[in-house]
Amino acid sequence: MTQAHAAGAPPLGAQIRRFGSLVTISHSVFALPFALASAVLASRFAEPTWWRIALIVVCVVTARSAAMAFNRLVDRRFDALNPRTAIRDIPSGQVTPRMAAVLVVVMCGLFVGAAALLGPLPLALSPVALGLALGYSYTKRFTALCHVVLGAAIAIAPGGAWIGLGAPVTLAPWLLVIGVALWVAGFDVLYALQDRDFDRGQGLRSIPVALGVRGTLVLSALMHVGTVACLLGVGHALGRGVAYFLGVGVIVALLTYEHTIVKPGDLSRIDKAFFELNGYVSLAFFGFVLTDRFIG
């Protein structure tokens, strides 16, 4: 028996699983496919290499992991008070605040290192990206627009992928970034409906607190209309083919279904709308963009 095990420390595999649970690694499905789709779209301007693609993946995963761990760290008091989140890793004692802080530092270091390998511009922009990703966690304390900040933080992924590939920054990547930001903000306000009463009681700000259920549903739908408009604009600006626009059509269908299952009198299917359908949105976009690239 090792000294660590004798002292009661969990084995390495268990610690890795706890860290994975803390940062909800599966949620990378929201940002990573859009980042890869951005790289595919940018490949008409810059030749992609497996090395650069690997570095882009590292940047997306480490930045998102740092942001999630930091969010869990700074929100641990609220998470402990909220019955829905009290089972999370820090409030339940599965991960200590110190462990979470170490993970944040390590992930930030890896992100900056990968950005540096992508080039001077990604390195120069890395503090801005981290500032937005980490700073989001404090926004609910003073603004109901915290969901928009989260959207912007996640939308860094496709924007960073475009820049990391060395492609010129034209209208298309801007439209993609705005579209992803609106998509994330649109589904995050739906998810926040679950905590509307808790947030109001704790003095936290959110769109559901400010607008109520019906107002939130309307705003979310408008944001997703904006997402579709932006994605159509990307396709038009880049002269993409039928497969790309078919992919946008699939996204329209998924988002429409999402808004039909979350109703003012029935919020029971928010988890399905948040986790499942939005994962399909990002994967579908990447799949159709990749198909369009090969057949176009």
Residue at token pair 């540096």:
116
How far is residue 163's CA from residue 144's CA, in Å, rounded to a whole number? 30
**Position 199, amino acid:** D
CA proximity to 129, closest of 145, 147, 107, 144? 107
State residue 151 phi and psi, 5-degree precision: -60, -45
Cα-trace Rg, the chain: 20
Give start and end residues of each alpha helix (H) in the chain: 3-6, 12-23, 28-42, 50-74, 76-81, 97-118, 120-139, 146-164, 171-192, 196-202, 207-238, 242-261, 270-271, 278-295
State residue 291 phi and psi, 5-degree precision: -60, -45
- Tell me the three state secondary structure of residue 158: helix
Q: In the chain, count of helices (H) and strands (E)? A: 14, 0
Q: Is the dihedral of CA 135, 275, 12, 63 positive or negative?
A: negative
* 38: Cβ contacts below 8 Å, ≥ 6 apart: 157, 158, 159, 161, 162, 173, 176
pLDDT block averages, 10 residues each, the chain of length 296 = 45 58 63 96 93 96 94 95 91 90 95 97 97 96 97 96 96 98 96 95 97 97 98 97 97 95 84 80 96 89
- Tell me the three state secondary structure of residue 167: coil
User: What does the pLDDT read at residue 265?
Assistant: 82
Tokens coding 164: 């990391």
CA proximity to 118, closest of 159, 84, 66? 159
Q: Which CATH superfamily is domain 12-295 in?
A: UbiA prenyltransferase (1.10.357.140)
User: What does the pLDDT read at residue 7?
Assistant: 45
**Position 105, amino acid:** V
Q: How is residue 27 annotated by DSSP?
A: G
How far is residue 234's CA from residue 175's CA, in Å, rounded to a whole number? 6
How far is residue 162's CA from residue 176's CA, in Å, rounded to a whole number? 10
How far is residue 117's CA from residue 120's CA, in Å, rounded to a whole number? 8
pTM here? 0.91
